[in-house]
Structure 1
Amino acid sequence: METLVRIMALIRKEFLALFKDRRSRVVVIIPPLIQTIVFGYAATFDVERVPCAVMDEDRSGASRELLARLEGSRAFRVALVATDARMMADAVDRGEVVMALRIPQGFERAVHSGAVTVQAVVDGRNSNTGTLAVNYLQTVVAGYNETVLHRISGAGPPANLVMRAWYNPNLLSRWFFVPGILAMVTLVVTLLVTALSVAREREQGTFDQLLVAPYRPAEVLVGKAVPGMVIGLVEVTGILCLAVYWFDVPMRGSLLTLYAGLGLFLFSVVGVGLMVSSLAATMQQGLLGTFLFTMPAVILSGFATPVANMADGVRQMTVVNPLRYILVIIRSVFLEGADAAVLARELWPLAAIGLFCMTVATWLFRRRVY
């Protein structure tokens, strides 16, 4: 009972130290919400109204029909009507357009003969946008071909592909990114709050007072871990509401399963933060340690690029990254409605990472104390 009273007193002290400054309160609460909104709109693979240039050398009914389909697509915006090849190439070189479409002379005759070639020049400096533009153009041309084939032969194509995307019917990249942003913002806030806790004590000269107080090292770590987890849970709840009610990302699974995964994730992140804090002598060193962990964690998490596509050696490094597991948990609960039984293979590594980090942090703290 006395141990619990001491720990509660230390937790109260940590909250007072964190929130006594108005600027600290604003930094902890407001920026994560703003970052979630900004990243939610900025982090997307969806491309709309791609600027393109067109050059119609045939000027026939068939070529105008193809251009009308291009202009009618939400994916493209005709920004330039070129009169020669040099004008079209210069527009791509200057970055004014992402793609240039050239319809050659004799296009209408070639359509009826069954063999036609249309040239598309794509700006490859941004490979992602260029690839998406090509895919969109292929969809437009495929629809045009189907219409022309039906008009010429009176029948549709011999094979008709019907596609259905599970879990994300419209293939909106926002449904993929926003749940990931939830984990990333929570990681950064929780890690900063925890990593700077002991370092702040040392820098302000109150660490020696803490050492002479009747606290065991494990009690000190618990008292510093709990505020970080509480702040993390509050942050993640606010961001979760933004994801569901602002960005309209469907929440198909159980909140209990989601919070179980988030609790284990916060436990592991707090363990990492306490390890950094136990090693750091100043807040500047704590910030540097946080940065050194955060950047590799994000890159090796599968947030933007699948873990399965990474090289074998790099992929093995991701097994100790808590962000990798929580991303799978969050996206599975949001989009698939997965339950705890399905996600058990992602939950137990988070618990193992948390236990290991907390054990190492306790050992480091004892070593620095004694």
Structure 2
Amino acid sequence: MKTALRRLWTLILKEFMLILRDPKSRMVVISPPILQFFLFGYAATFDVSHVRYAYLDESRSAASRTLLAAFDGSDAFELTDVLQSPQQFDAMIDARKVALIIHIGQSFERDLAAGRPAQVQIIGDGRNSNVATVAIGYAGEIVEAFNRDPWGASAMPETVRLVDRAWYNSNLLSRWFIVSALAATIGMVIVLLLASLSVAREREFGTFDQLMVAPFRPWEILVGKSVPGIAFGLLDGLLLSLGAIYWFDVPFRGTFMALVPALLVFFVSIVGVGLLISSLSLTMQQGLLGAFTFIMPSVILSGFATPVSNMPEWLQTVTLVNPLRYAVHALRDIFLQGADLPQVWPQIWPMILIACVTLPLAAWMFRNRTE
């Protein structure tokens, strides 16, 4: 038993030293996670502000100026140009000078005074559907407020008043939604790359045969190659979680007693996938291609950016074998909802099942490829 543990420790130490001595491996572990964390944190947001817009006011009345003043006073919009004719609409949208155009017709004030519906046309650039949808929604809120007080006078008493409240993210900040899941998403990339290159590196460098004639069992080699990837993944995951808390001010309402097991089990399942890819790869290039082939579908099908519930039912079934889906769900519950370990257990046990399939399959493939 002591001999086996000594052999295993030697393999683990050798893998750590190999990763830390290789400049490319050090870069994979240290620099990209931090860079990607800040890029995602600042750039990946669904919040819309300072939407560039132009308007054509053919009414030129007090009512139209009151409505346009509401747009001008909103942080969601930024006035770019005042148009003179509808013929300018196409050029403004096509050149991406504006994302929204407001068109107020000549009869706007007359219709209001006569008690008739007064139309305001909102034209959005549908090439960016998210910005267009959110911006048109903001415009609708401004128009709705204008309907209650079209002349800038005191508003009439409201018969029904809607009081809205969002739990767990009261300001509906999409940055909280994105950044809270980055520890799993970015950590997966690092662990998968390290694991998928581990065996392929030995084959390409010509040290694989030396490893096989050494007194190591196949399972010992796989465990020795798994531990460093899991350790670096957990380190990166905890570091990015702290960055989310202290740099981006994402609330951490859960406990580290739930966060650490969720990340640990997730990275174990990802190592199984990476070792499976590495066992099938003869060169490092094949290992990289295999890893990136897995990464993109995994992120898309995880619910990281778009809800799983919006996908077709058959595709929702496919996501059940994606470990990132459960990790993303668990992290958001821990950060925003304040979930503890029993509450995230429904997300942890599927990742354990995935690990129980991928790790033995990787060991079987490794053994068969070496015989």
Q: Which range, TM-score by smaller chain?
A: over 0.9
Tell me what 2:72 maps to: 71
CA–CA distance in 1 between the matches of 2:121 and 2:159? 26
Once the two structures are overlaid, the 10-residue window that deviates more, 269-278 or 85-94, is 85-94
How many residues align? The count is 369
Of 141, 148, 151, the match for 2:150: 148
Confirm whether residue 131 of structure 1 aligns to residue 130 of structure 2. Answer: no
Q: Secondary structure at the match of 1:77?
A: strand
After superposition, the C-alpha distances for 1:71-111 in whole angstroms (9 at most, x for unaligned) are: 11011011010011112332122211111101112322322
C-alpha contact 1:268 1:351 (8 A) present in aligned 2? yes
After superposition, the C-alpha distances for 1:289-336 in whole angstroms (9 at most, x for unaligned) are: 111211111111111111111112111111110000000000010000
Tell me what 1:306 maps to: 307
C-alpha contact 2:63 2:151 (8 A) present in aligned 1? no
Alignment of 1:332-351 (within 5 A): 332-351=333-352
C-alpha contact 2:103 2:121 (8 A) present in aligned 1? yes
Quote the offset at 1:125 in angstroms: 1.4
Quote the offset at 1:342 in angstroms: 2.0
Quote the offset at 1:180 in angstroms: 2.4
Confirm whether residue 253 of structure 1 aligns to residue 228 of structure 2. Answer: no
Q: Secondary structure at the match of 1:361?
A: helix
Q: Secondary structure at the match of 1:58?
A: coil
Tell me what 2:214 maps to: 213
Q: Secondary structure at the match of 1:51?
A: strand
C-alpha contact 1:146 1:156 (8 A) present in aligned 2? no
Of 119, 122, 139, the match for 2:121: 119
CA–CA distance in 2 between the matches of 1:27 and 1:321? 23
Once the two structures are overlaid, the 10-residue window that deviates more, 122-131 or 20-29, is 20-29
Alignment of 1:50-69 (within 5 A): 50-69=51-70
Quote the offset at 1:344 in angstroms: 1.8
CA–CA distance in 2 between the matches of 1:185 and 1:54? 42
Q: Which amino acid aligns with 1:253?
A: G
Quote the offset at 1:61 in angstroms: 1.5
Quote the offset at 1:209 in angstroms: 0.9
Tell me what 2:277 maps to: 276
CA–CA distance in 1 between the matches of 2:26 and 2:72? 50
CA–CA distance in 2 between the matches of 1:23 and 1:192? 11
Tell me what 1:100 maps to: 101
Q: Which amino acid aligns with 1:110?
A: D
Q: Which amino acid aligns with 2:69?
A: A
Alignment of 1:2-81 (within 5 A): 2-81=3-82
CA–CA distance in 1 between the matches of 2:209 and 2:101? 69
CA–CA distance in 2 between the matches of 1:321 and 1:369? 28
C-alpha contact 1:55 1:88 (8 A) present in aligned 2? no
C-alpha contact 1:53 1:88 (8 A) present in aligned 2? no
CA–CA distance in 1 between the matches of 2:325 and 2:25? 29
Q: Which amino acid aligns with 1:228?
A: G
Q: Secondary structure at the match of 2:78?
A: strand
Quote the offset at 1:58 in angstroms: 1.4
After superposition, the C-alpha distances for 1:121-180 in whole angstroms (9 at most, x for unaligned) are: 11111111110110010111112222238947x622322111111111111110111122
Q: Which amino acid aligns with 1:10?
A: L
Quote the offset at 1:241 in angstroms: 1.5
Confirm whether residue 197 of structure 1 aligns to residue 185 of structure 2. Answer: no
- Structure 1 unpaired stretches of 5+: none
Q: Which amino acid aligns with 2:271?
A: V
- Structure 2 unpaired stretches of 5+: none
C-alpha contact 2:80 2:98 (8 A) present in aligned 1? yes
CA–CA distance in 2 between the matches of 1:139 and 1:286? 51
C-alpha contact 1:149 1:156 (8 A) present in aligned 2? no
Q: Secondary structure at the match of 1:9?
A: helix
Once the two structures are overlaid, the 10-residue window that deviates more, 102-111 or 40-49, is 102-111
- Distance verdict in 2 for CA 1:159–1:89, change over 3 Å: farther
Quote the offset at 1:23 in angstroms: 4.3
CA–CA distance in 1 between the matches of 2:264 and 2:42? 27
Tell me what 1:177 maps to: 178
Q: Secondary structure at the match of 2:106?
A: coil
- Distance verdict in 2 for CA 1:21–1:9, change over 3 Å: same
Once the two structures are overlaid, the 10-residue window that deviates more, 141-150 or 229-238, is 141-150
CA–CA distance in 2 between the matches of 1:287 and 1:26? 15
C-alpha contact 1:149 1:157 (8 A) present in aligned 2? no
C-alpha contact 2:66 2:151 (8 A) present in aligned 1? no
After superposition, the C-alpha distances for 1:212-266 in whole angstroms (9 at most, x for unaligned) are: 1111111111100000000101111221121111111110001110111111100
Q: Which amino acid aligns with 1:306?
A: P
C-alpha contact 1:183 1:327 (8 A) present in aligned 2? yes
CA–CA distance in 2 between the matches of 1:342 and 1:237? 20
